[in-house]
Amino acid sequence: MSELRKDPIVGKWVIISVERGKRPSEFVRKSLPARSGFCPFCPGNEDKTPPEIIAYRPTGTPPNTPGWTLRVVPNKFPALRIEGDLERAGEGVYDRMNGVGAHEVIIESPNHADTLATISEKAFEDLLWAYRDRIIDLKRDRRLKYVLIFKNQGEEAGATLEHTHSQLIALPVVPKRVQEELDGCLKYFNYKERCIFCDIIRQELLQRNRVVSENQDFLCITPYASRSPFETWILPKRHTSAYENAQKNEYQSLAQIFRDTLKRLDKVLENPPYNFMLHTAPLNHGESEYFHWHFEILPKLTEVAGFEWGSDFYINPTPPEEAARFLREATLE
């Protein structure tokens, strides 16, 4: 029989549809044809992107030239722009403000054929440091309230360029999904005087049927109320609410488990399209006892249709316990 499961953080329900239960092989889709032609992110085409904001490159090599291992550039077609004033205003019952913010692209490797599952562990760690560097820099702009870091891998997940990259959008408001998490965490903390994510970590380590992997500093799980098949979360075992406040050794541990998780997803689901998002505390929010930063990875395996849009319920045809088992048992080279 199918189950209704309630997300303990935001309070939303999902349907775990056992009758529709799907094994990993049933999600495998035809690979989209590789795009050919010009790539603005490849070395030698640095002048085809806006000037880099930061780049990791050998000392002495000039900016916006080849030789880099990672580049961060403004998005050429930004959703929000850094220039201007917010000019908040009301129009009757409606609220508006100018589209002030930041929209940046993190080019994760100079090699066009790389993915985050194939780059070196050191390159992955550099990427995590780049995320931190950009959050710390954008914190200085008092107009900005939140930095959302995300990745669209594959055309079906929303990527418009093949070359491996992730994105950052800094917003003058806190996104609704994040605010729901903050509110849910605070409500739980006010009732139990504990962080709900820390309690989830303790329970998952005790039960272990949704644990994919762990190391000294991080835990990877398929969440109890997974919204989609093979949804995975990566959580720091040490309580901290702001990603940029992680300790140096934790970025190395995070690179290890994050890369391992993506390799497992690639192995089990044969290189699926996916999205991942970093959920961290709002800018200048300070460390809090009730919120816990984490990454959420959602493979793009099912379609959101009328029921989902109309009800805000998700239907997941693969129980998270089964997904965790497939990922845990994957044999990696």
Residues classed as catalytic: 165
Dist. CA 314–CA 311, nearest whole Å: 8
Dist. CA 287–CA 239, nearest whole Å: 10
Helix (H), strand (E) at residue 192: helix 176-192
Left if phi > 0, otherwise alpha if psi is -120 to 50, otherwise beta: which for 44? left
Dist. CA 237–CA 240, nearest whole Å: 9
**Where does the chain show beta strands of DSSP type E?**
3-6, 13-16, 54-56, 70-74, 89-91, 94-96, 102-107, 146-153, 165-171, 211-214, 218-221, 232-236, 274-279, 294-299, 314-316
Residue 170 token pair: 């800094």
Question: How big, in percent rounded to 5, are the helix, strand and coil portions of the chain?
Answer: 30, 20, 50
By C-alpha distance, which of 149, 128, 97 is closest to 251?
Answer: 128
